[in-house]
Structure 1
């Protein structure tokens, strides 16, 4: 079974899990098609009645039946889309929810290889395209198939010879449409990929517009977007061109068939094998029979695009979740904070090791600073402690127990982390500070804000702590945003602290006040500080100097200065 067929089978299986909606939709569609096919019979009888004496009473009765059929059919045409829309959009809602929930369970090693814009495009644009294709399947494809089957039955009752002509000639248009649809599928798949790449590029440009202007890189950005836009346009043109050739081609073939049948029908009337009303009914059936082929061909083309989108969504769902190796729950009670790295080996790429056979013991309650050049592995060491990535060899022990013995959630609850990169959600300042403790009172939030030296500027805002932040707090300065993220730690103080360039965007005076607050906070807690400004970590109990994934020196400030090694050279370079 091809990948496309597997995606279609999986899609229908999940969609039909909504049994009641599917059953009611199928019943409604069958009734609608049945009434639509029955209407030409009444039209033929009305035409034949005009050729008989005293036709008025008979014609009135037939017209009354036609009005009733039309009214019921109209009602069904209103109800059926409601049922199918509810079924399709209900499934799309579940699919989007499943994909986004899956993202939160995926390993960071997988997410690192995906662009943000492409992931956003899958959840939004691809799922929207999929819903459009599914709506067309139920509103046009299913109706078309049933119409074809019923019209064949009714045409067989009227004239078998003319039915054979219809059955022999009309598949030509369907075969042609299928051929074009197969070709267009590859172009639609290319279209979704280039659209995802373009979304990623737009997201990068818009979010970093100030940086682009600062470096006068507008022309380069415009050129990059022009290239991406050209690729998207080319793929879209090819896909749409191939798909747009289907309707006119099939209509031309169907028109030729209709003309041929009309001529043969006229000869059958002259021979007495047909009445005028029966020919009228038969030609109506030919129209009803051939029209779905146009709809089906359009749906087949749209379905190719939808299946390409479904494949991209299923590709996310089919990824393996991060492996939860531990079942024990780590609690603050009894947690001392002794951390040991034992023969740790890790690399972001299997054949490119970054850390090899690293062993170091961190005493409980120690204030540990990690320094080194960019790319030395400082943040990687912290990522491994947080279990954002799994080790390739060795183990990390917390109070003598491997961290893999605990669940990730319980481990991370005991670790507080402040990053250089800030993230604020679209909510009030109160909710942003209380992100790690949603049930925090206003008094607790205010105390945390004062500890982070952020209370003063919050009270200057129009609504104070109830001020709504949007777009990652873009209305605030970088330093203000960083202070808000620092306040989260003061609200919910864990046993282990990690400060990754936590004060890099704060002015010197405010940094001094925050550092003093951190000093009080770190007493009795195991703390890791990643810093490029070495003046901020001279009081650390232990300083780890990392180069190329290895700890080349360790000790306190005085010991490392006396060695006159890498740390000494870094100090001299800064002073």
Structure 2
């Protein structure tokens, strides 16, 4: 789990312009279609069969009508009509099945990519893309592409059907196709205007939905404070503050759709009436037969059916905007990137060196050209007033964040040159609020070493004074985490056990014992001393007793190391004692 202090240097993501969002969406849509290539091919085959059967239906129907009208045998015509209808029905069912499979495949692929990139963005990514925003993109935006294969094939099928119907009209009589073509330019202009107008409100609507989700998740995390403060009504108002903007974006979207919808609803029947009227005139002059008139009416209906594509265009535009929101995260460069040519760490005792390190957060310089050398095997307590960047400092060792300037070295090798998996094995962390990762208590302790056996896990738990309370759980180490009633102190001890299980040369405890009472902390510390005896350790200390147990204290002040000395040497300084002014043990001194 990430440190509790904010350690991301990037501001929340600035919304992309509608044009940029749709451009990114088109790139992702193309990649999604390519990804589902074989399935899309099968879907296209089913659609092609349906289109051909649909186009053949009026021909077969006309033959049957003409056969009845002329008294000719109708058996062959009816058999052909039945066969065509059967093919159309089977192809339609195949479209539904294959389309659903394609959509679920694309959605799963997108969600895997999105989750992977969010994890790659690491700690700084929390500021660039808040939790609620990521959740909105992961659920609504990614799932919006589930219908993409069917939508694309539907557009192609409808256009192919309309084109085939126009050709069929021309084959029946040359005057029918021009009659239909008179209305096509008007429909194209109407659709282009809609696409130009609807992109921005579609984007705004999804962005405001994400803002509400983010505020709701924030409130849920602070539900006890809200209940205790009696501020539920005020929180509801805060959560729903983007609602007027959401409503305005929705109204703009619906207004744009409504303007196009009534125009197409009027244009489609007028076009059909025009084609049928021309066909009727040609029937009156004897240029076409009664069956051809019926066929012409059917083909005119098919051709104007392209107007129904408006709903599909709306869905495609929504998919494009949704894909753009997913692509925005995928395009975000991780703040901590793996090295192009990793360097192996030498077998070393764990010496940590920070040279001229500068870190900025939200425009504020937290660490300013800081220099620090942690001797191999030493235990160093990082001390400083609230907000001085203690968690930022210890986050640098394991590359939870990278400095904007300067370098961090482990046993003489820049940590930026080490492959992330190797660095994770060399530097282990325990945090104030450890994440409940895994299915059971055993899984949580062994999260970084899933191959560890029960004996190793119990040994690590005993080191963190956790074995007794774990055994008291309903199923011991096999207790599911969602059924394990854990206090804050017990959860911290499991986090310490997880760190103890790793064979890291550097162990970082970021306020990892803050929820322990004094007696338990002493017990845990004594157990950890055996573990830390052969490792370098950095401990974010907020209690004088914690700093007193360290070999050295790194006093952080003004973005730099003010002093690096034993706690006893620093304690006479009143400014140093003021750092612990709020600590309950202050009265006990060193």
Q: TM-score, normalised by structure 2?
A: 0.90
Name the structure 2 match of 1:548. Answer: 558
1:14-33 aligned within 5 A: 14-33=32-51
Distance 1:369 1:144, change over 3 A: same
> Is the partner of 1:357 in helix, strand or coil?
strand
Deviation at 1:530, TM superposition (A): 0.7
Name the structure 2 match of 1:523. Answer: 533
Distance 1:298 1:530, change over 3 A: same
Q: Which consecutive residues of structure 2, in runs of 5 or more, have no partner in the other structure?
A: 1-17
Q: Which moved more, 1:192-201 or 1:9-18?
A: 9-18
Deviation at 1:264, TM superposition (A): 3.1
Contact 1:117 1:200 in 2 (8 A): yes
Q: Does 1:313 align with 2:326?
A: yes
Contact 1:433 1:484 in 2 (8 A): yes
Name the structure 2 match of 1:568. Answer: 577
Q: Aligned partners of 2:26, 2:427: CA distance in 1, in Å?
A: 45
* Deviation sequence 1:380-434 (CA, Å, 0-9, x none): 1111222222223332233333333322321221122111122102511111111
Contact 2:33 2:149 in 1 (8 A): no
Q: Does 1:437 align with 2:446?
A: no
Deviation at 1:165, TM superposition (A): 1.0
Q: Does 1:229 align with 2:247?
A: no
Q: Aligned partners of 2:491, 2:171: CA distance in 1, in Å?
A: 78
Q: 1:347 aligns with which of 345, 355, 360?
A: 360
Q: 1:446 aligns with which of 446, 451, 458?
A: 458
Q: 1:91 aligns with which of 103, 106, 112?
A: 106
> Is the partner of 2:121 in helix, strand or coil?
coil
Distance 1:506 1:240, change over 3 A: farther
Contact 2:103 2:145 in 1 (8 A): no
Q: Which moved more, 1:80-89 or 1:125-134?
A: 80-89
Contact 2:179 2:278 in 1 (8 A): no
Q: Aligned partners of 2:378, 2:491: CA distance in 1, in Å?
A: 28
Name the structure 2 match of 1:185. Answer: 199
Q: Aligned partners of 2:234, 2:519: CA distance in 1, in Å?
A: 39
Number of positions where the alignment pairs a residue of Structure 1 with one of Structure 2? 564
Name the structure 1 match of 2:481. Answer: 469
Q: Does 1:257 align with 2:257?
A: no
> Is the partner of 2:376 in helix, strand or coil?
coil
1:111-190 aligned within 5 A: 111-138=126-153, 140-190=154-204
> Is the partner of 1:443 in helix, strand or coil?
helix
Name the structure 2 match of 1:45. Answer: 63
Distance 1:542 1:160, change over 3 A: same
Deviation at 1:186, TM superposition (A): 1.5
> Is the partner of 1:382 in helix, strand or coil?
helix
Distance 1:301 1:164, change over 3 A: same
Distance 1:400 1:22, change over 3 A: closer
Contact 1:496 1:527 in 2 (8 A): yes
Distance 1:510 1:6, change over 3 A: closer
* Deviation sequence 1:203-255 (CA, Å, 0-9, x none): 22223322221222211211012223343333234324433554443222212
Deviation at 1:376, TM superposition (A): 0.8
Contact 1:48 1:276 in 2 (8 A): yes
Distance 1:86 1:571, change over 3 A: closer
Deviation at 1:14, TM superposition (A): 4.3
Q: Aligned partners of 1:378, 1:493: CA distance in 2, in Å?
A: 24
Deviation at 1:550, TM superposition (A): 1.4
* Deviation sequence 1:440-499 (CA, Å, 0-9, x none): 1122222222222222222232222111113xx784222222121111123224221111
Distance 1:361 1:235, change over 3 A: same
Name the structure 1 match of 2:252. Answer: 238
Q: Which moved more, 1:398-407 or 1:305-314?
A: 398-407
Q: Aligned partners of 2:298, 2:420: CA distance in 1, in Å?
A: 67
Q: Does 1:207 align with 2:221?
A: yes
Name the structure 1 match of 2:4. Answer: none
Name the structure 1 match of 2:9. Answer: none
Q: 1:323 aligns with which of 337, 341, 346?
A: 337
Contact 1:497 1:527 in 2 (8 A): yes
Q: Aligned partners of 2:45, 2:581: CA distance in 1, in Å?
A: 82
> Is the partner of 2:337 in helix, strand or coil?
coil
Q: Aligned partners of 1:203, 1:166: CA distance in 2, in Å?
A: 54
